[in-house]
Structure 1
Amino acid sequence: MMDFFHYVISAEQATERRNKIIEHFKQWGIEPNFFQAIMGNKLSEKQLQQLTNDEGLLTKGEIGCALSHLGVYRKLLESQEKCVFIFEDDARLNQKFFALMPAIKNFMEEEQHPAVLILYKVKAHTKQYHPLNETDAILRATAGSAAHGYVINRKAAENILNVQTPLKFEIDAWAIYQKLNLLRIYCTDCELVYLDEEQAKKSVIDQISTRKDRSPSFVKKIKDRHVEKIYNGLSRKEKMMVQLKRLQRHVQELYYDDNEK
């Protein structure tokens, strides 16, 4: 199989999960390139204060997860590569992924806008954007969730690092990034990466600390405050672009397919 620039985020102590992903990648003739996951519970209080400004939004496990993805973004920027494929260690690739991967890689390398391409169909308004072959395509999306398999280019990685240093909210806040004109969201119209449900249930994040039972209004209040602060720090031109993007989203929701249900 063709090799490609990628990282698999994995905690070294999660032996079973690591062995499973090694076995899975080897089935496709690939040696996984691991990024050692940052463990939030191993960070000191001083480190947490320096690295985060989440106002209690995230658990230590979620903090470690986000910092790990940000660490991969830095690896991309340190390299000469134009984009990087990122997987979590409960992700699994299928035959169609490898069939379409060269075309996806080419698309992301040629993409002039900061962009993330999620390797499955998201639950959001979408519209066909770029054909990959006669039956499969890349979709433009208004939102997206999860981060177990995606591709990100250099400019998008740089933009996210800028707003997430220190860390403010979960790493897969794709809609927030797009709302702030930091990137475009793309996805595939078919599932190329899926979760190993058995391994997903053994989430290291949840083992470190259970996910907080927070009301939607509490979460929204904190996120809105962060977004407002980021927005206020933009130049006048950047603010105008953000407002334009908000108008565009309303138009997109009228004309894009609705996959949210």
Structure 2
Amino acid sequence: MSSKEAIFKLINRSFDQVFLISLKKSNDRREKLKDILNGLDYEIFWGVNGSELDLNELELSGKLDNSGRYQQNRPPLSSGEVGCALSHLGIYQTILERGLKNALILEDDLVVDQSNPGLPGTLEQSFSELPPDWDLLYLGYADNNNAISPGGLLRAWAIYPLLYLFNRERFNPAKFRRRFPRNYSQNLQRAGYHYRTHAYGVSNNGAKKILGFQTPVAYASDNAISEMCTTKAINAFRVKNRVFYQNRDLETTIKGRYIDKGKSPHRH
């Protein structure tokens, strides 16, 4: 059995459902994924096409808050970001409606790491190390944040604590330190502030929490989860050995987003 086959067999028995988000127009992506995801039991979940959204109408209806009050110094969400956020929210709602214990959510631009023959074993151990009350588990993410720079350490332990004394909430030192992953067990870390939502597991309770946080939509899908991680609003973890990476050879359907720092191992 290949490493990929072993990983998919483990995922199939570990999650109640695997959802693959894809836009109806993205036939080329789904064709490529047939081979990549061969052996994985998944259901296609049709995503929301941001180009078809009327953001003004969504704001008037109370489904979108694009005022920027939650994310200062950030530009308003683009239609693509809103469509992506609504797609993930639709899956959370489906998890609750079906009474699923948990689910794995994938996006249609991913690849599987097949370079590590020991990955199936470490993934199985990762699942066994999760606490019963876990809300979210990253199987893929970008921006590792594995080490705090000397400047970051100075801010975390000296400058920010001083500024925080003057009621400057945005300089909350504890929140800043939680941007970086912390060791939890042999194969898991507590999640920090990471980009991308191309591969993560969510529990029923986790889906409920994110739905509450993102109603109305005020963040891009990955930023919403990361913000919850830094405020301890969600019990989130990440595997130390990533299973899924984004295929950066594919053009993003969300224009104008940042460059992925967690590059696929299949690119050089």
Give the structure-1-normalised TM-score: 0.67
Aligned to 1:197, the other structure's residue is in SS state coil
Q: Please give the residue correspondences for 1:156-175 in structure 2 after superposition, counting only pairs within 5 Å.
A: 156-173=206-223, 174-175=225-226
Q: Give 5+ residue unaligned stretches, structure 1.
A: 132-136, 213-261
Q: Please give the residue correspondences for 1:179-194 in structure 2 after superposition, counting only pairs within 5 Å.
A: 179-194=230-245
Quick one: distance in 2 between partners of 1:72 and 1:104? Answer: 24
Quick one: distance in 2 between partners of 1:164 and 1:107? Answer: 28
Quick check: 2:112–2:243 contact (8 Å CA) kept in 1? yes
Quick one: distance in 2 between partners of 1:98 and 1:77? Answer: 29
- The alpha-carbon deviation at position 99 of structure 1 amounts to 4.7
Quick one: distance in 1 between partners of 2:101 and 2:129? Answer: 11
Q: Give 5+ residue unaligned stretches, structure 2.
A: 68-74, 147-179, 259-268
> Is 1:34 equivalent to 2:7 in the alignment?
no
Q: Please give the residue correspondences for 1:76-115 in structure 2 after superposition, counting only pairs within 5 Å.
A: 76-95=95-114, 98-99=120-121, 102-105=124-127, 111-113=132-134, 115=135
> Is 1:25 equivalent to 2:37 in the alignment?
yes
> Is 1:58 equivalent to 2:77 in the alignment?
yes
Matched residue type, 1:65: C
Query: 1:12 and 1:47, CA in 2 relative to 1: closer, same or farther beyond 3 A?
Result: same
Q: Please give the residue correspondences for 1:40-51 in structure 2 after superposition, counting only pairs within 5 Å.
A: 40-44=50-54, 45-47=56-58, 49-50=60-61, 51=63
Matched residue, 1:129: 184
Question: Deviation digits for residues 172-228 of structure 1, max 9, x if unmatched?
Answer: 1233113443202311111211111212xx11222xxx459xxxxxxxxxxxxxxxx
- The alpha-carbon deviation at position 162 of structure 1 amounts to 0.9
Aligned length: 198
Fraction of identical pairs, as percent? 24
Q: RMSD value over aligned CA atoms?
A: 2.5
Query: 1:49 and 1:105, CA in 2 relative to 1: closer, same or farther beyond 3 A?
Result: farther
Give the structure-2-normalised TM-score: 0.65
Quick one: distance in 1 between partners of 2:197 and 2:216? Answer: 19
